[in-house]
């Protein structure tokens, strides 16, 4: 079976109305300095954020800069406020507690995106010439696709944690793109491996029926071929049903699911689609513990609006929720207790999105730290930070030293593998909180890697890209 990943030109073929329906960032607000940004998702637009370590107008050359294409308003604001809030909280922790990374302060500016790709590109164009850019972290499939050519020409890393273009895992073709922790295909493999474990073995999946309910966007559609492949490999039946953006009406889809009566439903949603799915499933009598959410259907904001309908629901995750971890306790003591926290609602500290932002902060900062060990304890070029990401190897002992034991497992990025190991765990909602219910599970790399490499090679051929070798890793352009 031939699997084609999302084509490079898909963004260019879409009109503005279609672009608005993607899982995108975008938008521009003025840049300013502030200590705390609203995370309510209620429609208020905060000013852009910088650290206390520097001014937007007077650039301190002893700084490493992070441009943030954030989204704090609109239907996906819960994800944006939590993720970027956690990212900023970790940067603040490093600045306040450690004085930066080896004396280099971490700074940033935000552009409010309102989830529109055109505006997201405007944010990129406005901030791309700032000195000492470490990496871009858009948390958006569409904006990431729109930026790949741009950031490659400028030799600046693009971080697409838990999402993005699947074949960008192949660093031979995509030297500056890093889908850290998880890509869409490894997520899919992890979900099927979990269901096999739940059934008593992968062989027990034969004859089972699975429905994939997916968001009607390029993000939602990206895993269609891999589910078909895994269904053939393990002998289960799969039917994939689209929910048009934004997903606030699903009665027809769930009536179809009721008629099919599958063993499991995989919910590949985002934003308002997720609680609507859980409520509608309850209405048609489909049990929540037979619904498995993907990595963008796994937050408190996805389940709390659904009330009792969400109780028993299960979702994949790359990082745990909760604030019992030492790094969270440090952030509370050092950042929030001093009035410098980014979340307006302190009850969201330790939530899924907030913790993902913190983990993303850890990965970005450690890449900078690793690169400094090679190139000097100073502000780095984007290409130098790229080298740091390609040597981002945090084993469980290092993760524990960073105060993140059990928050996430580990990561082992190489110049060839820009994702890491793809380890995931599963959590279940008890009506009040998430509880981890599985061990760490790895995807089937023996199956996935040849698919990823074939797609990446095809992209390289279409775009006249020469495959990198290990000798190219240390070739740095400042």
Over the chain (478 residues), the average pLDDT of each successive run of 10 is 41 34 33 37 35 42 95 89 97 98 98 88 97 96 93 98 95 98 96 97 98 93 96 98 95 98 97 96 98 97 97 97 97 98 97 98 98 98 98 98 97 97 96 96 95 97 97 92
**Confidence (pLDDT) at 60:** 56
H-state helical runs in 45-116: 77-98
| Span 78-95, pLDDT tens digits | 899 999 999 999 999 999
What pLDDT is attached to residue 167? 96
Reduce the DSSP state of residue 108 to 3 states and report it.
strand
Give residue-wise pLDDT tens across range 216-246: 988 899 999 999 999 999 999 999 999 998 9
Burial 395-424 (b: 16+ CB within 10 A, else e): eeeebeebbbeebbbbbebebbbbbbbbbb
Report how far apart, in Å, the C-alpha atoms of 398 and of each of 239, 405, 412 are: 42, 9, 12
Question: Residue 18 has what pLDDT?
Answer: 35
Torsion angle (degrees, nearest 10) of CA 387, 414, 102, 68: 70
Q: What is the pLDDT of residues 247-257, one digit of tens each?
A: 999 999 999 99
- Confidence (pLDDT) at 32: 33
Q: Would you state the pLDDT for residue 214? A: 98
- Record the pTM: 0.88
H or E segment and range at residue 213: strand 209-216
Nearest to 380 by CA among 135, 134, 155: 134
């Amino acid at each position: 079976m031939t699997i084609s990943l999302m084509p490079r030109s898909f963004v260019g073929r879409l009109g503005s109305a279609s672009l608005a329906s993607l899982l995108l960032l975008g938008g521009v607000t003025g840049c300013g300095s502030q200590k705390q940004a609203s995370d309510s998702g209620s429609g208020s637009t905060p000013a852009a954020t910088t650290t206390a370590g520097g001014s937007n107008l007077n650039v301190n050359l002893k700084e490493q800069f992070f441009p943030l294409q954030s989204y704090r308003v609109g239907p996906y604001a819960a994800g944006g406020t939590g993720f970027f809030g956690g990212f900023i909280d970790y940067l603040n922790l490093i600045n306040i507690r450690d004085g930066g990374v080896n004396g280099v302060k971490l700074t940033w500016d935000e552009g409010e995106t309102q989830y529109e790709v055109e505006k997201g590109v405007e944010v990129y164009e406005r901030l791309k010439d700032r000195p000492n850019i470490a990496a871009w972290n858009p948390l958006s499939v569409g904006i990431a696709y729109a930026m790949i050519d741009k950031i490659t020409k400028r030799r600046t890393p693009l971080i697409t944690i838990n999402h993005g273009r699947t074949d960008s895992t192949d660093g031979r073709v995509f030297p500056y793109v890093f889908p850290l922790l998880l890509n869409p295909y490894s997520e899919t493999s992890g979900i099927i491996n979990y269901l096999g474990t739940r059934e008593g073995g992968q062989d027990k999946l034969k004859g089972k029926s699975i429905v994939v309910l997916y968001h009607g966007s390029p993000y939602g559609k990206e895993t269609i071929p891999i589910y078909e492949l895994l269904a053939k490999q393990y002998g289960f039946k799969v039917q994939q049903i689209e929910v048009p953006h934004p997903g606030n009406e699903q009665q027809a889809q769930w009536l179809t699911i009721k008629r099919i009566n599958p063993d499991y439903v995989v919910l590949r949603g985002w934003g308002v689609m997720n609680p609507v799915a859980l409520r509608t499933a309850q209405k048609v009598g489909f049990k929540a513990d037979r619904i498995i959410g993907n990595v963008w259907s796994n937050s408190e904001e996805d389940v709390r609006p659904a009330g009792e309908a969400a109780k028993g629901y299960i979702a994949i995750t790359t990082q745990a929720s909760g604030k019992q971890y030492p790094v969270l306790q440090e952030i509370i003591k050092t950042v929030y207790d001093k009035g410098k926290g980014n979340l307006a609602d302190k009850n969201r500290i330790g939530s899924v999105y907030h913790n993902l932002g913190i983990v993303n902060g850890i990965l970005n900062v450690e890449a900078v730290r690793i690169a400094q060990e090679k190139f000097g304890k100073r502000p780095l070029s984007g290409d130098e930070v790229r080298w740091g990401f390609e040597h981002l190897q945090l084993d469980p002992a290092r993760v524990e030293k960073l105060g993140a034991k059990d928050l996430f497992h580990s990561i082992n990025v190489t110049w060839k593998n820009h994702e890491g190991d793809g380890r995931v765990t599963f959590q279940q909602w008890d009506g009040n909180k998430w509880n981890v219910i599985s061990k760490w599970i790895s995807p089937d790399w023996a199956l996935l890697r040849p698919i990823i490499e074939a797609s990446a090679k095809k992209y390289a051929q279409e775009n006249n890209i020469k495959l990198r070798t290990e000798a190219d890793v240390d070739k740095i352009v400042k």
